[in-house]
Amino acid sequence: MTGITLQGIQDAAWSFTKDSPLNTIAELDSLQLFDAPLIAAADAFDPLFAKLKENEVVGPQHRMPQEWLEGAKSVISYFLPFTKRVREANRKLGLAAREWMYGRYEGEQFNNSLRNYLVHFIKDSGMRAVAPGLDSRFSVVNRRSNWSERHVAFVAGLGTFSLNRSLITAHGSAGRIGSIIVDAAIDPTERQYTGIDEHCTKCGACILRCPPLAINEQGKDNAVCSDYLDRVLARYRPRYGCGKCQTAVPCEASIPRIQVSSMSVNR
């Protein structure tokens, strides 16, 4: 078998998410962490990848797709939306719900397994692939990584940023993100937006939800947020998390402007 398509990758990702035991937490009454992922593709030579190096939030350390994989032609990005049960548990004020902490910790273990599965699926299809998040060259220095999954997802057309710097996708902002770089030419997903924060209505709901007060009308202070997460980790190690700004807000499970449009039609 040779060649690969975005539909084929999507089918493989959906099947893995549905069948993997890692997506179920037995000790939490068989809690399912994720629904079926959203999948999108970007041209590895998209000019926006070069612009990420110029972005003050991302920075010059961010690697180009070709720096991860020689001959890279496409980047596959996906968003794993948390299930309603995980999201609902975290809507209460205070510390992150136990379900959310499992989603953050065991959820990222599942995410890594999906990354690995898709790499092997693509290789079995006769192509080459690499998952930067699993690569030994991946690094985070001063809270900045050399491959930003959120910004790569933006390039691929999965969504735009919110006031709290989460990515708002068609299935909201509560979830995890991953990506695979391949040497196959896959038709890129059309970006249904131009602005980096086009899906955010600036409603300010996330400001009121933030326990360490890291968010204001100008955005989020990543240092304040990270320091708070470090304190949660120290208390609940190995699990940690917060996610209050991603739950009980209009962008929790959809794009706010779509919600407003639907409400108008229903009336």
Token match 């639907």: residue?
A: 262
Q: What pLDDT was estimated at residue 56?
A: 81
pTM for the model = 0.93
Q: What is the DSSP code string of 205-236?
A: HHHHH-TT--EETTEE-HHHHHHHHHHHHHHH
pLDDT of residue 265: 30
Which SS3 state, helix, strand or coil, does residue 43 take?
strand
Distance CA 262, CA 71 (A): 43
pLDDT at res. 190: 96
Q: In 3D, which of 181, 168, 193 has the Cα closest to residue 252? A: 168
- In tens, the pLDDT along 29-52 reads 999 999 999 999 999 999 999 999
Mark out the alpha helices in 47-173 (DSSP H runs).
47-52, 65-68, 84-89, 98-124, 149-156
Residues of the chain with pLDDT under 70: 1-2, 258-267
